[in-house]
């Protein structure tokens, strides 16, 4: 989904709608916590039967508020945020300010069944750069948007045209000060670009570095490496963490995704491949600073989601592959490459096999995780580091266990301190650096 957020100068006073809408969200959340087996329509009936002072909300707005309450999965929630709650306890903000901060925006949810994409709003971007809001039969008003950039104008004009033909829909989140326009990025999908068959752009991520490679594949054993580079986030991760730097990190992370997709377009990659990772926050047993880096500062999901969105818009196929042993196998098979680049090449191999086995169905299906295990070639390549390899080592898993047990360093780690050929990703003010690998 794409979300455009705009501040507006239209004088609105919808505090009563916001208050009643958020009261329903909190009431619904409490009901779902009391009985997780409740269905949406059951809680809707309870809201309509039990709650008072929600006369401004029609059935549609009640339904959306109940869905929002159901979507909050955490057991303990401080509406308005922990920070504001503490500020109120310390009497640094007034009760009125606290109550205002507790309230979210009002969502006007559209659907494919609604006329012009949303029964409570109409886009008038083409005519006068505005949005008509219809909260109920008598409360109608227009929100004038600020000046849009070229890409925003193009996207919203396409959205308006499709909605008027009942071929798409959108949702809005509105407050007295700003408006969010939410819609499916697939409506912006461009014509399929020219690609080179079996050319794969793949990348491997860790909190400090993104290793990127572009490879042409003939078979799993025959490939040509076209391009390699490392994108370093180490400099921006080392900064003191405050509101500005957090936003700076988010901004540059989004530009990394834009850069990767532009790289795929430039080299005519058929597939963009990356690992499918599920990493809930946890104690990594490597100290507080490492936990903060991995759990708090690493914007892995925003980067992946933005790349998926851009792939959808540019009509480039993306492929997620399993992450199991990718760093180890990649480094063992490509000992002269930095670990993140080597892992990206291994990710590309898996994406190539998945494409051939399950999409094109040109070769028999099988396991894509483990490449052919050849102990002879591995002995010649790694004897100096691992010493004598026992004869009973006949699989990648056994080799991995042996390496861990021997505490041998198999990774070729990248360090910006050894390179002086960095390129800034955006400008001289950027904290993200690029290092071309040759």
pTM of structure: 0.75
Burial bucket for residue 24 (CB in 10 Å: 0-12, 13-18, 19+): buried
Q: Are residues 113 and 167 in the same domain?
A: yes
Q: Is the pLDDT of residue 174 over 70?
A: yes
Q: Are residues 176 and 209 in the same domain?
A: no
Q: Are residues 220 and 362 in the same domain?
A: yes
Q: Are residues 20 and 38 in the same domain?
A: yes
**CATH number, domain containing residue 208:** 3.30.420.10
- 244 pLDDT band, cuts 50/70/90, is low
- Give the pairing type, strands 423-424 and 196-205: unpaired
Q: Which H or E element spans position 173?
A: strand 171-174
- Residue positions counted in the chain: 438
Q: Is the pLDDT of residue 320 over 90?
A: yes
Per-residue DSSP letter, 208: S
3-class secondary structure for 365-376? Answer: CCCCCCCCCCHH
Q: Are residues 51 and 116 in the same domain?
A: no
Q: Is the pLDDT of residue 257 over 90?
A: yes
Q: Are residues 129 and 87 in the same domain?
A: no
Residue 274, pLDDT score: 95
Q: Is the pLDDT of residue 307 over 70?
A: yes
Answer with the one of 41, 76, 102 that is the final residue of a domain. 102
Q: Are residues 210 and 309 in the same domain?
A: yes
Total structural domains in the chain?
A: 3
Taking residues 138-142, report their average pLDDT. Answer: 87
Answer with the one of 188, 211, 226 that is the final residue of a domain. 188
List the structure tokens of 320.
Answer: 């997620």
Q: Are residues 208 and 350 in the same domain?
A: yes
Which residue range is the domain that position 180 belongs to? Answer: 107-188
Range with the largest mean pLDDT of 225-229, 322-326, 378-382: 225-229
Is 382 inside any structural domain? Answer: no
C-alpha 291: how far from chain center: 20
Q: Are residues 300 and 322 in the same domain?
A: yes
Q: Are residues 202 and 74 in the same domain?
A: no
Q: Are residues 158 and 211 in the same domain?
A: no
**Alpha-carbon dihedral sign for residues 76, 82, 86, 89:** negative
**How many whole angstroms separate alpha carbon 423 and alpha carbon 433?**
5
Q: Please provide the distance, in angstroms rounded to a whole number, between the alpha carbons at the two ends of the chain.
A: 37
Taking residues 60-81, report their average pLDDT. Answer: 81
Nearest to 269 by CA among 369, 353, 351, 360: 351
**How many whole angstroms separate alpha carbon 309 and alpha carbon 312?**
5
Answer with the one of 61, 86, 102 that is the final residue of a domain. 102
Contact indicator for 438, 429 with CB cutoff of 8 Å: no
């Amino acid at each position: 989904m794409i979300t455009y957020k705009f501040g507006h100068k239209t004088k609105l006073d919808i505090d009563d709608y916001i208050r009643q809408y958020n009261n329903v969200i909190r009431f619904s959340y409490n009901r779902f916590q009391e009985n997780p087996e409740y269905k949406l329509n059951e809680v809707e009936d309870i809201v309509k039967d039990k709650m008072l002072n929600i006369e401004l909300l029609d059935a549609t707005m009640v339904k959306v508020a109940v869905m929002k309450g159901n979507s909050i999965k955490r057991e303990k929630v401080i509406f308005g945020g922990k920070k504001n709650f503490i500020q109120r306890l310390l009497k640094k903000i007034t009760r009125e300010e606290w109550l205002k901060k507790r309230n979210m925006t009002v969502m006007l949810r559209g659907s494919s069944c609604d006329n012009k994409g949303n029964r409570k709003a109409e886009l008038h971007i083409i005519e006068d750069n505005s949005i008509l809001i219809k909260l109920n039969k008598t409360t109608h008003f227009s929100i004038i948007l600020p000046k849009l950039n070229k890409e925003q104008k193009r996207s919203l004009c396409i959205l308006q045209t499709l909605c008027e033909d009942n071929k798409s829909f959108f949702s809005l989140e509105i407050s007295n000060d700003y408006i969010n326009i939410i819609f499916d990025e697939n409506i912006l999908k461009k014509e399929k670009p020219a690609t080179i068959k079996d050319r794969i752009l793949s990348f491997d991520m860790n909190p400090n570095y993104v290793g990127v490679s572009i490879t042409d594949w003939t078979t799993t054993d025959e490939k040509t490496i076209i391009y390699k580079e490392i994108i370093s986030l180490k400099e921006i991760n080392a900064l003191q963490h405050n509101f500005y730097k957090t936003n700076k990190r988010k901004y540059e992370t989004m530009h990394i995704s834009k850069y990767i997709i532009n790289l795929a377009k430039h080299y005519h990659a058929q597939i963009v491949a990356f690992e499918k990772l599920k990493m809930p926050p946890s104690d990594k047993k490597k100290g507080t600073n490492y936990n903060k880096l991995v759990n708090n500062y690493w914007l892995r999901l925003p980067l992946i989601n933005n790349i998926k969105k851009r792939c959808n818009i540019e009509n480039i196929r993306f492929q997620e592959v399993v992450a199991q042993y990718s760093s180890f196998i990649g480094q063992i098979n490509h000992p002269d490459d930095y670990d993140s680049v080597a892992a990206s090449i291994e990710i590309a191999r898996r994406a190539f096999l998945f494409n051939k086995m399950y999409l094109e169905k040109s070769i028999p299906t099988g396991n894509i995780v483990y490449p052919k295990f050849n102990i002879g070639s591995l002995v010649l390549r790694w004897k100096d580091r691992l010493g004598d390899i026992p004869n009973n080592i006949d699989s990648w898993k056994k080799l991995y266990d042996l390496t861990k047990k021997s505490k041998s360093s198999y990774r070729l780690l990248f360090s910006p301190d050894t390179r002086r050929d960095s390129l800034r990703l955006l400008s001289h003010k950027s904290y993200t650096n690029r290092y071309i690998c040759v």
